[in-house]
């Protein structure tokens, strides 16, 4: 019985410690995600490289999969002037993995982009801190109200074969 009581106390203590670290983890992940967007403003390839895991990839809003090498190579082609993030939520999955989801609108040099919802997976790497492993963006589509329009009958009857 003592064994199970001790095991329960260890589990409760570990859970409590993990819950206590969450505000710190939440701030760290949000700051790291913002640092990634700052890279696109400053065009700092070395900084982007340091924020990504070796096998990091992105699924962009068009469904294109970009590996880390592609992201680093294409950085100069993706210049943003500013960005606006909202509804940020960090979900710790383990002590080494957390997901952040949020809405973002990017301002490019000549126009403002369509709002997107983003999910990023951050992983704690030994001796290297937290790094982004997966990024996925999807456009936020506005709801379209269906309007019934009467369908006119064709002027010439359609012949069935």
Tens of pLDDT along 54-90? 999 999 988 999 999 999 999 999 999 999 999 999 9
The answer to whether position 156 is within a domain reads no
CATH number at residue 72: 3.10.450.50
The answer to whether position 144 is within a domain reads no
The answer to whether position 160 is within a domain reads no
For 127-157, how does the pLDDT look when each residue is reduced to its tens digit (9 = 90+)? 889 999 999 999 998 776 666 655 565 556 5
Is the Cβ–Cβ distance between 36 and 80 less than 8 Å? Answer: no
State the pLDDT at residue 148.
60
The answer to whether position 148 is within a domain reads no
Range of lowest pLDDT (28-32, 48-52, 127-131, 150-154) = 150-154
Query: Could you tell me which residues come within 8 angstroms of residue 75 by beta carbon, excluding any fewer than 6 positions away?
Result: 39, 40, 43, 45, 48
Q: If we measure between CA atoms, which residue out of 85, 94, 101 comes closest to residue 123? A: 94
Q: Which domain does 78 fall in, by range?
A: 2-139
The answer to whether position 149 is within a domain reads no
Provide the domain count of the chain. 1
First-last CA distance in the chain = 82
State the pLDDT at residue 121.
98
The answer to whether position 161 is within a domain reads no
The answer to whether position 63 is within a domain reads yes
The answer to whether position 88 is within a domain reads yes
The answer to whether residue 45 scores a pLDDT higher than 60 is yes
């Amino acid at each position: 019985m003592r064994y199970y009581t001790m095991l329960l106390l260890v589990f409760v203590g570990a859970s409590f410690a993990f819950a206590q670290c969450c505000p710190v983890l939440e701030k760290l992940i949000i700051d790291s995600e913002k640092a990634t967007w700052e890279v696109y403003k400053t065009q700092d390839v070395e900084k982007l490289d340091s924020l990504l895991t070796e096998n990091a990839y992105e699924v962009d809003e068009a469904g294109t999969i970009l590996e880390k090498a592609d992201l680093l190579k294409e950085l100069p082609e993706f210049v943003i002037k500013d960005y606006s993030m909202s509804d940020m939520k960090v979900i710790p999955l383990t002590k080494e993995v957390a997901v952040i989801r949020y809405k973002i609108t990017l301002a490019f040099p000549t126009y403002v982009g369509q709002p997107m919802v983003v999910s990023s997976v951050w992983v704690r790497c030994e001796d290297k801190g937290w790094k982004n492993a997966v990024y996925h963006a999807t456009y936020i589509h506005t709801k379209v109200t269906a309007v019934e329009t009467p369908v006119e009958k064709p002027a010439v009857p359609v012949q069935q074969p």
